[in-house]
């Protein structure tokens, strides 16, 4: 979670989402750690390991276990009545790799590509990391959209419209910001 400073404000970029987002963007990967010139190699290695652990922890949490059908259940599947009672759809066994191997593979193939194209092409190869990337990269990195909403509110509420109710202002801002 984000850490608070002494004055009660949130320290910038202390939330692990920022670290995961930067690492799972193939145009950055973990290169941003290497290019920081004011930090020793030990600190760089420690930060790199911390970021990897954050990603792996979330990848393991989002990974869904594959259901295992035992022999008794397989026998019960074929004991129904009808023409297709003995037929049951066989599920492909997941031969995927572990999240740790996926992360290692990702770090080798990520080299400055477009983030959307990269994850569209590698979603089957790196399924655990893909789920984490979808969650993390959906977080906006700036407050610009919120600032635009306030700006529209200032444009709509002018001195000659001072008698406007708050509900009408809210509806007008909503319509302006969500118009196609």
| pLDDT at residue 167, rounded to an integer | 92
Whole-number pLDDT of residue 69: 47
The per-residue pLDDT for 59 is 87
Q: What is the mean pLDDT of the chain?
A: 78
pTM over 0.95: no
E strand map for 111-170: none
Residues of the chain where predicted confidence (pLDDT) is lower than 50: 66-72, 78
pLDDT digits (tens, 9 = 90+) for 102-129: 998 998 898 878 888 999 999 998 998 9
Instruction: Extract long-range pairs of 113-117: CB within 8 Å, 24+ residues apart.
Output: 113/26, 113/27, 114/26, 114/27, 115/25, 115/26, 115/27
């Amino acid at each position: 979670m984000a850490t608070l400073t002494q004055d009660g404000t949130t320290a910038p970029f202390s939330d692990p989402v920022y670290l995961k987002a930067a690492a799972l963007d193939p145009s950055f990967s973990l290169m941003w750690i290497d290019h920081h010139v004011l930090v020793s190699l030990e600190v760089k290695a420690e930060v790199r390991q911390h970021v990897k652990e954050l990603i792996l922890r979330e990848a393991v949490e989002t990974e869904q276990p594959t259901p295992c059908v035992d022999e008794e259940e397989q026998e019960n599947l074929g004991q129904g009545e009808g023409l297709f009672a003995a037929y049951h759809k066989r599920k492909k066994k997941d031969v995927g790799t572990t999240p740790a191997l996926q992360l290692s593979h990702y770090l080798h193939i990520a080299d400055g590509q477009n983030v959307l194209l990269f994850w569209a092409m590698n979603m089957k190869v790196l399924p655990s990391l893909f789920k984490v990337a979808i969650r993390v990269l959906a977080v906006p990195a700036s407050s610009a959209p919120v600032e635009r909403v306030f700006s529209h509110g200032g444009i709509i509420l002018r001195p000659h419209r001072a008698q406007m109710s708050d509900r009408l202002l809210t509806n007008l801002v909503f319509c302006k910001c969500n118009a196609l």
